[in-house]
C-alpha cells in the first residue's frame, strides 16, 4: 500500500472502469471513480470538484473513459481536466496526448505525417468529391469523426450506382458535415489490437468476425482470439503510437496482401480484448505503472 491518491475518470459501474479502480485500490488503498458528467470546474478558486473531492488535490488521475459516447463534448471535459493537470496532478495519459486522438481526423493526420501506412483516405465537405472518392476506391467506409466500435459508420460501394450513392452520401453528410472516408480493405475477417504500456509492447489480440458483417468489432459479433504478429508488424505499431506519448494504448492494425496498415491509435486502450484475447491483465499492469511513475 502507498499513500498515493489516484482517481479513475470513467463510467461508474462499467467493467473496465471498476476493474481499474479495483487494481488501483489494491496498489494504494485509495478508491475514487469520477464521472465527468458530475464534475464542476470552479475557475475562481482553481478547483475541480467531484462531489466533496477536489480533483486538484489528488496525486494522479487516470482517464479510462471520458464519456459514454464519443462526441465533441469530450474535448470540453478534457479541457476541464487541464486545470487539475496545471495544479500538478499527473494525468494518465496526458490531456494533450488524448486531445490529439479523440477526433479521428486529428489522429489520422498525425499518423500520416509520421509516415505510417494507412488505408487510402479522403476528407471532404463536398458530396461530389466524396462520390468521386468512392468511385475511385471502389468501396469505402464512411466514419464519423467521433466514434468507437464502428458506431455510425457506413459502407458504400461504387456498384450502388451514382444516384443511390449520392443519396447515401447526402444522408451521411446530414449527420457528419465533414466526411471522413477510407478505402475498404480486405482483412480476411480479422484485425489486430496491439497493446502498449508506457510505449512498451505487451502483446496482441485479434478481433475475428463471426458473421458476414464487414467489420470485426465485438459490438457487431466479433470475438477475441490470441495472435502472435511478426516483428515488422510490432515495429509498425510501435512507431504508430510513439508520437502520441500515451501511458496506455491499443493500436488497431490490419494485415493486407500489400502489408500491414494502421487504422488508429486508441486514446484509452481496451482492457477486455487484452485480457480475453492475449491474457494480459492490463488494469493491474497499468496501476503498477502509475504508482511507479508517481514515486519517481
Q: Is residue 242 domain-resident?
A: yes
Q: Is residue 289 domain-resident?
A: no
Identify whether residues 234 and 266 lie together within a single domain.
Answer: yes
Identify whether residues 72 and 16 lie together within a single domain.
Answer: yes
Residue 6 CA to residue 3 CA, distance in Å, equals 10
Convert 203-215 to b/e letters by CB count within 10 Å (16 or more is b).
bbbbbbbeeeeeb
Identify whether residues 190 and 179 lie together within a single domain.
Answer: no
Average pLDDT on 5-20 reads: 97
pLDDT at 135: 96
Query: How many Cβ atoms are within 10 Å of 194's Cβ, its own excluded?
Result: 28
Inform me whether the pLDDT recorded for 213 exceeds 60. no
pLDDT at 212: 59
Q: Is residue 107 domain-resident?
A: no
* CATH code, domain with 125: 3.30.1490
Q: Is residue 11 domain-resident?
A: yes
Average pLDDT on 77-95 reads: 97
Q: Are 14 and 65 in contact (CB under 8 A)?
A: yes
Q: Is residue 251 domain-resident?
A: yes
pLDDT at 218: 55
Sign of CA dihedral 106, 108, 142, 71: negative
Residue whose cell numbers read 479510462 = 64
Residue 172 CA to residue 163 CA, distance in Å, equals 14
Instruction: Read off the pLDDT of residues 218-245 as tens digits, 9 standing for 90 and up.
Output: 555 579 999 999 999 999 999 999 999 9
Domain that includes residue 232, residue range: 186-280
pLDDT at 70: 77
Q: Are 236 and 227 in contact (CB under 8 A)?
A: no
Identify whether residues 80 and 127 lie together within a single domain.
Answer: no
Q: Is residue 97 domain-resident?
A: no
| Domain stop point among 161, 183, 205 | 183
Inform me whether the pLDDT recorded for 216 exceeds 80. no
Q: CB pairs under 8 A, 24+ apart, for 117-121?
A: 117/236, 117/259, 117/260, 117/261, 117/262, 118/182, 118/261, 118/262, 118/263, 119/182, 119/183, 119/184, 119/185, 119/254, 119/261, 119/263, 120/182, 120/183, 121/180, 121/181, 121/182, 121/183
Identify whether residues 141 and 218 lie together within a single domain.
Answer: no
pLDDT at 188: 77
* CATH code, domain with 268: 3.30.470.20
Average pLDDT, the chain: 93
Q: Is residue 295 domain-resident?
A: no
Q: What is the DSSP string of 127-159?
A: HHHHHHHHHHHSEEEEE-SS-STTTT-EEEEGG
- Total domains, the chain: 3
Identify whether residues 23 and 61 lie together within a single domain.
Answer: yes
pLDDT at 55: 98
pLDDT at 215: 56
| Domain stop point among 148, 168, 183 | 183
Identify whether residues 192 and 275 lie together within a single domain.
Answer: yes
Q: Are 181 and 143 in contact (CB under 8 A)?
A: yes
Instruction: Read off the pLDDT of residues 117-176 as tens digits, 9 standing for 90 and up.
Output: 999 999 999 999 999 999 999 999 999 998 877 788 999 999 988 899 999 999 999 999
Average pLDDT on 76-82 reads: 96
Say what the pTM is: 0.92
The answer to whether the bond into 282 is cis (omega within 30° of 0) is: no
Identify whether residues 194 and 275 lie together within a single domain.
Answer: yes
Identify whether residues 264 and 211 lie together within a single domain.
Answer: yes
Residue 118 CA to residue 137 CA, distance in Å, equals 14
Identify whether residues 48 and 79 lie together within a single domain.
Answer: yes
Identify whether residues 160 and 178 lie together within a single domain.
Answer: yes
Q: Is residue 294 domain-resident?
A: no
Sign of CA dihedral 127, 170, 266, 105: positive
Residue 189 CA to residue 45 CA, distance in Å, equals 53
Identify whether residues 246 and 230 lie together within a single domain.
Answer: yes
Amino acid at each position: 500500500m502507498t499513500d498515493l491518491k489516484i482517481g479513475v475518470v470513467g463510467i461508474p459501474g462499467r467493467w473496465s472502469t471498476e476493474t481499474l479502480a479495483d487494481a488501483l485500490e489494491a496498489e494504494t488503498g485509495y478508491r475514487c471513480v469520477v464521472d465527468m458528467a458530475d464534475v464542476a470546474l470552479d475557475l475562481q478558486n482553481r478547483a475541480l470538484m467531484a462531489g466533496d473531492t477536489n480533483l486538484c488535490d489528488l496525486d494522479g488521475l487516470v482517464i479510462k473513459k471520458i464519456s459514454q459516447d464519443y462526441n465533441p463534448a469530450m474535448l470540453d471535459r478534457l479541457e476541464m481536466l487541464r486545470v487539475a493537470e496545471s495544479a500538478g496532478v499527473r494525468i494518465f495519459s496526458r490531456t494533450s496526448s488524448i486531445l490529439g486522438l479523440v477526433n479521428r481526423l486529428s489522429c489520422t493526420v498525425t499518423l500520416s505525417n509520421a509516415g505510417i501506412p494507412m488505408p487510402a483516405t479522403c476528407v471532404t465537405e463536398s458530396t461530389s468529391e466524396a462520390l468521386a472518392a468512392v468511385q475511385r476506391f471502389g468501396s469505402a467506409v464512411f466514419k464519423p469523426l467521433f466514434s468507437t466500435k464502428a458506431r455510425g459508420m457506413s459502407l458504400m460501394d461504387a456498384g450502388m450506382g451514382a444516384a443511390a450513392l449520392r443519396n447515401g452520401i447526402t444522408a451521411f453528410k446530414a449527420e457528419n458535415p465533414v466526411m471522413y472516408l477510407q478505402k475498404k480493405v480486405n482483412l480476411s475477417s480479422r484485425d489486430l489490437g496491439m497493446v502498449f504500456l508506457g510505449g512498451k509492447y505487451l502483446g496482441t489480440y485479434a478481433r475475428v468476425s463471426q458473421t458476414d458483417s464487414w467489420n470485426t468489432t465485438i459490438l457487431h459479433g466479433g470475438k477475441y482470439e490470441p495472435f502472435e504478429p511478426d516483428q515488422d508488424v510490432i515495429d509498425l505499431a510501435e512507431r504508430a503510437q510513439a508520437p502520441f506519448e500515451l501511458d496506455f494504448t491499443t493500436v488497431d492494425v490490419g494485415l493486407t496482401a500489400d502489408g500491414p496498415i494502421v487504422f488508429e491509435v486508441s486514446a484509452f486502450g481496451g482492457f477486455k480484448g487484452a485480457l480475453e484475447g492475449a491474457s494480459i491483465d492490463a488494469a493491474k499492469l497499468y496501476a503498477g505503472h502509475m504508482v511507479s511513475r508517481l514515486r519517481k
